[in-house]
A and B are shown apart, each in its own frame.
Chain A
């Protein structure tokens, strides 16, 4: 593994990911405009905002699916290992930097079993153990050992998300809530340091939502993995996140604890929405807070 890029900035120890001046343009459209924020190592960070605010674009930049137009994304994996995510290709971000993600519309391998899904996530270590396939074809004992270990790990995760009984069923056959949890487990099988979840609670009932909260807390506490999530369900955001970043029209409008964000008049205006007759009043408040109109 290559060492950290020489020009990677030094981050404080508790910061895992620093996003600086992230801007993403699609032709004339500025989807994300100069957004900066930190994701702390021990936090569940929520990225919220109205539809079209640029949340998923930020996500896609962090996970390498888009190359940002401007900006720097520094990930400090450990004390001696930092990565500049905007310089890595998408699969390298998952494999080397340790950023795993899920998708808004679940992207499981539907025709493969739950167990197989978790094994694909361990592709990189298994591939190395199979000696780029050559040793594997010959049936080397080292590979058999690695595969057993991978299956054990997958089993552990299936037990944790309560799907061990359905390990041999195709993923597309699972109920929606189980698919969501399986996708999270699959992302976790890549051994990430940062787990990015795109609307994990979408379409879940209150009970499933509560289970998800427990799972995310346990991922942070037991696995020591930081979580960055996009969420519309305010009950989830307010309950589990330690840090909330609010976007509106591609700009960051608030950044802080859930409590602070909830009381921020700009957030109330932009995100939670106001009655039509209150708009002017709220705008006056905002201007007063900013010290006059821009």
Chain B
């Protein structure tokens, strides 16, 4: 409808004036009045020029927006990706995923790659693995888990404590840490079986905090806030340690000793763990249990009417998701050599969840990209320490506006008769339950 409108100017001016008034209300106490210490007294300094600038910018900016972008009657172009572009991206992704794996394998030997880059690679891959693990719970089964870091902590402490008290090696503890984390996943699963959506999120959040606070306060056992130091480093599959001397890895393989060997080994270790996680998750998706998870996300009541045991289905989702976090946790402990409850705060859970949501729930490739962008980008802009959080938040908001279902939002069917067609994300239920 293009009915001739009255001049938009009066309305735009009025709106801008109101906004400027709000800006004045905010700026006057916060920017205009500054307390300074004069000798022993507190004095009030006035900076009305700053306030004037702020109010002026807001007024003019709002006026311009009102007359251009927010002009009444303006036809809005929708910010969306056309299906054609989407299909092309999907095709690209099919090539990109194997290419990414090849690059990841070759990374330590590429020119210009030093210790810092490999360390960063290890960090990114850890989050990729955690993202893939959480994807089972959130992306496939649709259970919103805000306490995922608890299982990461269980894995890390399992290894550190088993090594400290019983002297068990990393290779023995790795599967044990996974099993223990899975056990805790089931333990969390039981009380939250009947909860959905927001309530589930709150309880999982609390669970994450409980684990952290127990680790913090169980002083004699876990070392409390001091954490556990000297967590043993991994050996080369139990054959040789990464030390100098004639029993070391370097001597055994006829190499010159270098501290980098262990870093490269750790890099390949986490790469292998992440790829195993990916393989298992892709495999599980095509099995009855994976389909049951997705069906559970779509409609729990229909699931029950079809004889799907929703209790077991939910518990396996929690257990398997937790197991991969446990593996990642024990890797984290052996890499750092030191762990404390501080590494397992809520912000970690939020970060992993953000990776899964931004990447696209249920999409393995999207999660990997999101982890690379989030963790890598975070490190890359380390110099802009004060602004990176702002930029970060802005990027997240933009992605959620542009692609509310994450980077890769379409779903690939687990089985097909004639043709595998991607299912638009708009039809797929989101994980709220």
Contacts and interface: CB of A to CB of B under 8 A. Distances in A.
Interaction A to B: yes
Interface of A: 63-65, 90-92, 94-95, 100-101, 103, 107-113, 115-116, 119-124, 126-127, 130, 133, 136-137, 147, 151, 155, 164, 167-170, 172-173, 186-187, 190
B307 interface: yes
A64 B305 CA distance: 9
B307 A116 contact: no
A187 B419 CA distance: 25
B415 A120 contact: no
Interface stretch (B63-71, B289-297, B395-403): B289-297
Contacts of A91: 303-304, 306-310
B303 to A, nearest CB: 7
A177 to B, nearest CB: 18
Contacts of B420: 168
B306 A100 contact: yes
Contact of B288 (A65, A103, A111, A136): A136
Interface string B283-321: 110011101101100110111111111100000100000
Interface string B108-135: 0000000000000000000000000000
B316 A120 contact: no
B416 interface: yes
Interface residues of B, number: 38
B12 to A, nearest CB: 42
Given A115-B416, A120-B292, A101 B308 contact: no
A147 B289 CA distance: 13
B429 A63 contact: no
Contact of A107 (B284, B294, B302, B316): B302
Interface string B154-192: 000000000000000000000000000000000000000
Nearest to B420: A168
A130 B289 contact: yes
B294 to A, nearest CB: 6
B314 to A, nearest CB: 12
A112 B287 contact: no
A100 B307 CA distance: 9
Nearest to A169: B421
Interface of B: 280, 283-284, 287-289, 291-292, 294-295, 298-299, 301-310, 316, 411, 413-421, 423-424, 427-429
Given A94-B306, A111-B423, A172-B427, A123 B292 contact: yes
Contacts of B316: 133
Nearest to B425: A111
Given A112-B298, A127-B289, A168 B416 contact: yes
B304 A94 contact: yes
B298 A167 contact: no
A58 B109 CA distance: 69
A140 to B, nearest CB: 11
B298 A151 contact: no
B429 A110 contact: yes
Contacts of B299: 107-110
Q: Which of B305, B310, B423, B424 has the most CB of A within 10 A?
A: B305
A186 B414 CA distance: 17
A110 B427 contact: yes
A130 B414 contact: no
A18 to B, nearest CB: 22
A113 to B, nearest CB: 5
Contact of B289 (A92, A133, A172): A133
Given A119-B288, A170-B427, 17 more contacts: A91-B304, A91-B310, A94-B304, A94-B307, A103-B301, A111-B294, A111-B429, A112-B295, A115-B416, A116-B294, A116-B415, A123-B307, A133-B288, A133-B289, A133-B316, A137-B283, A137-B284
Contacts of A173: 427
A210 to B, nearest CB: 26
Contacts of A92: 307
Contacts of A110: 298-299, 427-429
